[in-house]
Amino acid sequence: MSDFSDISVVVQGPVQSFQDREQEPGITQKCLESVRQHLPGSKIILSTWPNQDLEGLDYDELVISEDPGPNIRYFKRDGTPQRFNNNRQIVSSREGLKHVSTRYAVKLRSDNFLTGSQFVDLQKKFPIRSQQYKFFDERVVVSNVFTRKYAKGYPVAFHLSDFFYFGLTSDLRMIWDLDLYPDAQDPISENEASLRNDFPIDCTQMFWLSALQKFDPDIGLIGLLDRSGDAINRSRSIYANNLVIAAPEELGLGLCQKFLGSARISRTKGQCAQWQHIEWINAYRELCENKKGSFLASSELLALFLQRLIYVYPTRIETRLKLRKWNRAIDKLRQR
């Protein structure tokens, strides 16, 4: 394609840096310039906060929202609050998407950038869908970075990346039209050690579950590793029927420096724990095309299996030991 006038790109987040959220120098300018280069004709909506340095930035529309501040999801074991920027991401994404007038939209972090437009073709490449768990009007393309298949050595459900989304504007609005999360109040009952044999759910799980509960209120998790009620298979089915999961290089997505090099997510241990595009294709073939047993097999999958034998599965021992320690901490909290 040479014209992308039916696409708007919502670049959301702080410009360069914001209070406690430092960013790579010049990354927002690089982000905006990459959209002009790889999606000519598209509209850029910059959704950010007051008092940002906007000099030299190339965008079509500016959306300034009041900063909701960090939110406290839970308390650490020592009783101090654990703060996240979940509400900030909701506000900048949600308010930016409200200003989109085109049929399709991209949600792009202000500290990432485009290296191509492969995601546009990927969105149309897998047309068959089943009626079960068909939540969105069309498929939404997402990154596999932080879309974890395993966490702490165990299979994990609904752990979808919040980095990058491309699809119908109406579908993206459905995903990101979320209420702000209230702050945790009780250092004992809302302590990270208060879940026996589990960890607090991840932020990415929380976002995705909040979106899915609009379609099925029974979808939910108690903790990060909760696999009750066929959660793993249900998560896989929803992925196969509503999304396309692919690596950054397969999408045309570039990551800022903090996610590259020696960053945990870029190491072999981190990468092999994520969903891979070929694994998503196999789920699609089985659950949407109804080609049971007709899987794509490749040296890539064999290498992935061997990597997980080395880096993923042994982590279960460490996780079990940590959970035993946390269970003792729970007992001490309850005895107070």
Using alpha carbons, select from 91, 114, 85, 90 the residue that is nearest to residue 27: 114
Beginning with the edge strand found earlier in the chain, give each strand of the sheet holding 7-12 in spatial order.
61-64, 43-48, 7-12, 104-109, 164-168, 140-143, 243-246
pLDDT score of 17 more than 60: no
pLDDT of res. 299: 84
Per-residue confidence band for 62, with pLDDT thresholds at 50, 70 and 90: very high
pLDDT score of 264 more than 80: no
Residues 288-297: tens digit of each pLDDT: 999 876 567 7
Residues 265-315: tens digit of each pLDDT: 668 888 999 999 999 999 999 999 998 765 677 788 899 999 999 999 999
Do 21 and 98 touch, CB atoms closer than 8 A? no
Q: Which pTM does this prediction carry?
A: 0.92
Instruction: Specify which residues 106 forms β-bridges with.
Output: 9, 166
Average confidence score pLDDT of the chain: 91
The percent of residues in the chain predicted with pLDDT above 70, rounded, is 92
Cα three-residue angle 53-55-56, rounded to 5 degrees = 135
Burial class of residue 136 (count of CB atoms within 10 Å of its CB; 0-12, 13-18, 19+): buried
Lowest-pLDDT choice from 26-30, 31-35, 255-259, 321-325: 255-259
pLDDT of res. 25: 62
Which residues, 6+ apart, have CB-to-CB distance to 309 below 8 Å? none
Residue 44 Cα to chain centre, angstroms: 21
pLDDT score of 26 more than 60: yes
Instruction: Specify which residues 12 forms β-bridges with.
Output: 47, 109
Q: Are strands 43-48 and 61-64 parallel, antiparallel or unpaired?
A: parallel
Using alpha carbons, select from 52, 65, 126 the residue that is nearest to residue 291: 126
pLDDT score of 58 more than 90: yes
The percent of residues in the chain predicted with pLDDT above 90, rounded, is 76
pLDDT score of 18 more than 50: no
pLDDT score of 43 more than 60: yes
Which residues, 6+ apart, have CB-to-CB distance to 36 below 8 Å? 44, 58
pLDDT of res. 321: 92
Residues 77-132: tens digit of each pLDDT: 888 999 999 999 999 999 999 999 999 999 999 999 999 999 999 999 999 999 99
pLDDT of res. 325: 83
Instruction: Specify which residues 124 forms β-bridges with.
Output: none
